[in-house]
Amino acid sequence: MEKIKMTTPLVEMDGDEMTRVIWQMIKDELICPFVDLKSEYYDLGLEYRNKTNDQVTVDSAEATKKYGVAVKCATITPNAARMTEYNLKEMWKSPNGTIRAILDGTVFRAPILVKGVEPYVKNWVKPITIARHAYGDVYKGAEMKIPGPGKVELVYTAEDGSETRELVHDFKNAGIVQGMHNLTPSIESFARSCFNFAIDTKQDLWFATKDTISKKYDHTFKDIFQEIYDTEYKTKFEELGLEYFYTLIDDAVARVIRSNGGYIWACKNYDGDVMSDMLATAYGSLSMMTSVLVSPKGVYEYEAAHGTVQRHYYKHLKGEETSTNSIATIFAWTGALRKRGELDELPELSAFADKLEKACIDTVESGKMTKDLALITTLKDVTPLNTEGFIKAVRETLEASL
C-alpha cells in the first residue's frame, strides 16, 4: 500500500515518562507505516526544556501559530520533587500553561465512548464536551485574612488618579476576604473559541454562570457571549441548525444529568475545573479523555487529558510489564491528522484518522483492552493486554480495515 501524503507539517510536541514511551510506539506501529508523516519535531521532555531554558516550549507554540495544528504528548509540570529528580535549573512553568498563554486558547475535553465501558449516567449516549475558560477568577485572586473589626472596600484607581469605591463588608469580627478579576479580551476570546468549536464539530453550545447572584461579574460573561453570538455567529448557527443556549449554572447541572449528551458545555474557570473532573469520572475513565486547545484564530493543539502516568513509567524502567492505555494519545494524533486533512484538503488523511479511531474502539469492543478498562468493563470475554500488546492489536484491526 502506498503511504498517504501530507503537504503541511504537523507540529509534534514530544513529552515525558510513560506517555513518551507510548508516543514512539504509536508513531512506529500506527502512523508511520501508513502515513508519509511530515512533522516539525519539538522535544518538550523535561530534560530538553531544562537544557533550552524552556525556549523549546515557546518555539513549539510559535510553530503551532505558523502551521495551525499541533499534537502534544503529556509533559511533567515540575514541582519540588522533580527539581532534584531532573536536576533542574529552575522550576519551569507548566508547558500547557505557556502554550495556552501564547495561543490564547480554550481547552475542550471530551470522552471517548466505547461499548462495555458504560457511563454512570445511563442516558449519556453521546459525549459531553467541556470548555473551560482558563484565565482569571479565583485562580488569580487576591486574598486576605481579616483579623478583627474594620472596613474592606474595593478601590479602582483610574490612570487620572480618580477613585471608585465599593464596600465589600464592614467587619464587626474576624473574617476573610477575596478579590478576583477577569479581562474583557480574555472572555471575548473564550466566547469565540467556543462558537468556532461548536461550528467545527456541529454541536450545540451551552453556557452557564451565576448571573442572578453576580449581577456585574457573571452577568458580564453572559452579555459578552450574547453580544458576540448575535453579531458574529447567529447566522452561521442557524444555517447549520445549531443552538446557542444560556442558562443559570444550577439549571445547567440539572439539564446535563437528564441529557443524552452531544453538546459543548462552556464553563467559567472554576466550574470547568470541577465539572470536567466530574464528567471524566462519570464517563468511566480518565484514560479515555481527549483534550484540544482551540485558539480564537482557529489554531488547534491536540493531546490526551491525562498526565505522564508516572507510576507505570517507574515500573517500565524496572523492566516490569505495564498496561498503559494509549487510546487518548492515539486520538490526539488522529485529531491532529484529521484537522490537517481538512485544512489541506487531503480527504485520504482525514479518512485514515477515522479508521484508526474506529480500530481503537473495535479492538476494545472485541474484548482486547488494557487493564484500566478491563477492571471496569461490562464485557464478558476480556483479554487484558500490556502496553505494547494493545497497540499491536489496534494495528491488526486497522490493517484488516484498510
Does position 75 interact with ligand NAP (CB under 6 A)? The reply is yes
Choose among ligand NAP, Mg ion, none what residue 298 binds, the Cβ cut-off being 5 to 8 Å by kind. Answer: none
CB contact set of 316 (below 8 Å; sequence gap of 6+):
18, 21, 322, 387
**Minimum distance from residue 103 beta carbon to ligand NAP (Å):** 15
Q: Is 29 helix (H, G, I), strand (E, B) or coil?
A: helix
Nearer to ligand NAP, 85 or 251 (CB): 85
The amino acid that residue 185 corresponds to is P
Give me the helices (H) in 300-367, please: 310-317, 327-343, 347-365
Choose among Mg ion, ligand NAP, none what residue 77 binds, the Cβ cut-off being 5 to 8 Å by kind. Answer: ligand NAP
Q: Which stretch binds ligand NAP (CB under 6 A): 72-80, 99-107, 237-245, 255-263?
A: 72-80
**Minimum distance from residue 293 beta carbon to ligand NAP (Å):** 10
**Minimum distance from residue 217 beta carbon to ligand NAP (Å):** 29
Nearer to ligand NAP, 130 or 252 (CB): 130
Among 9, 136, 175, 307, binds ligand NAP (CB under 6 A): 307
Q: Is 9 helix (H, G, I), strand (E, B) or coil?
A: coil
Find the residue with minimal CB distance to ligand NAP: 307
Cα–Cα distance, 107 to 129 (Å, whole number)? 10
Choose among Mg ion, ligand NAP, none what residue 39 binds, the Cβ cut-off being 5 to 8 Å by kind. Answer: none
Binding residues vs Mg ion (CB under 5 A): 273, 277
Burial 86-119 (b: 16+ CB within 10 A, else e): beeeeebeebbebbbebbbbbbbbbbbbbebbeb
**Minimum distance from residue 123 beta carbon to Mg ion (Å):** 25
* CB-count exposure of residue 162 (10 Å: 0-12, 13-18, 19+): exposed
Structure-block grid coordinates of residue 81:
520533587
Does position 76 interact with ligand NAP (CB under 6 A)? The reply is yes
Closest CA to 262 of 324, 334, 203: 203
Nearer to ligand NAP, 6 or 360 (CB): 360
**Minimum distance from residue 287 beta carbon to ligand NAP (Å):** 3
Closest CA to 202 of 126, 266, 263: 263
**Minimum distance from residue 273 beta carbon to Mg ion (Å):** 4
- Residues numbered 346 to 375 that lie near ligand NAP (CB under 6 A) are 372
Residue 7's alpha-carbon distances to 26, 29, 67, in angstroms, are 21, 22, 11
Does position 325 interact with ligand NAP (CB under 6 A)? The reply is yes
- Residue 232 DSSP symbol: I
Catalog residues that contact ligand NAP under the rule CB under 6 A.
74-77, 96, 286-287, 303, 306-311, 324-325, 372
